[in-house]
Amino acid sequence: MNNDSLYGYYLEKLKPIPDFLEDFLNVPSLVRLKKVGYFCGMDYASKDIYSFKEYISRFDHSLSVALLTWKLTHDKIKTLAALFHDIATPCFAHVIDYMNKDYTNQESTEEYTERIIREDEMISVLLSKHNIPVEDIIDFKKYSIVDNKRPKLCIDRFDGIVLSGIAWCKTIGKKEIDKLVDSLKIYELDEEELGFNNRESAALAMDTNNLINKLCHSAHDNYMMELLADITRRAIKLELVRYDDLFYLTEDDFFDILNRSVDVELIELLKTFKTIKMFEIKEISLKDVKPRLIDPLVDGIRYSKLYSEVNV
């Protein structure tokens, strides 16, 4: 990671890495995520459509979610659940939800989480070493500070805002990282929930989140997500890969397989994916695409109750 990496700067804000967590960072199923991008395979797409500031992987996301969980809770089990919350991410991540027509929840691949954790022998050995039952880390959704329902804010959702703000929206730099991280606080209403201690930080997070929501509902993002879903579907039909393989391959591995294909239709789809220009994007409307709005707590009170300009 180069010295100009904003993710690297963000990571430094969340360190140190606790000793117990270091043990888990080299497990094979987690290491695979270093070659699974955070932005759903679009690192390989036409640079006229996507021009990310830096490469961020699902491993990066998993690590920062875990470190932030530890920083705010000092709870080993919640931290490990956070570390492994995306361990079942397939190649191209939410593109596979699009392929499965799960536009709204985008959770169709999470059923693999338990399977992958239980299959990884190194995870089993390390959990035994730390006297942690595997059942305690499989269902990360039972820890509301890690994952909860929108429009609430949780650590996973907050981290997504920061990473997208760094690399995609380009609205978050070092100053914004400092402001956001330093203002975080856990509140306990009906459940543990992440929030802010001041309005300015909450508004900053919401502004970036609203831009992410706009981009995720844009014609070009819908088109490219559907296009990569079609490419993946075609590869499975041609038996270049099996559906299960998507959860074990890296994206580099998968693209190597795709690029070696001699299938005319697949070659044309790949060419379009890699070279299409913005003006060539066809208008496509996917009405059920997951809404990504938030209404965070500020000093324990919902932002929308404090400030009427919020749209949730």
Give the 3-state DSSP-derived string for 171-184, with helices as H, strands as E and coil as C.
CCCHHHHHHHHHCE
pLDDT above 80 for 199: yes
Residues 128-139: tens digit of each pLDDT: 999 999 999 999
Task: Pick the range with the lowest mean pLDDT from 19-28, 100-109, 205-214, 253-262.
Answer: 100-109
Q: What is the pLDDT of residue 107?
A: 65
Task: Report how far residue 105's alpha carbon sits from residue 303's, in angstroms, rounded to the nearest whole number.
Answer: 24
Mean pLDDT of the chain: 94
Domains of the chain (ranges, CATH numbers): 6-218+289-306 (1.10.3210.10)
Strand order in the sheet with 192-196: 184-188, 192-196, 297-298, 301-302
Residues 33-69: tens digit of each pLDDT: 999 999 999 999 999 999 999 999 999 999 999 999 9
pTM to 2 decimals?
Answer: 0.95
Q: Which two tokens stand for residue 220?
A: 């070009």
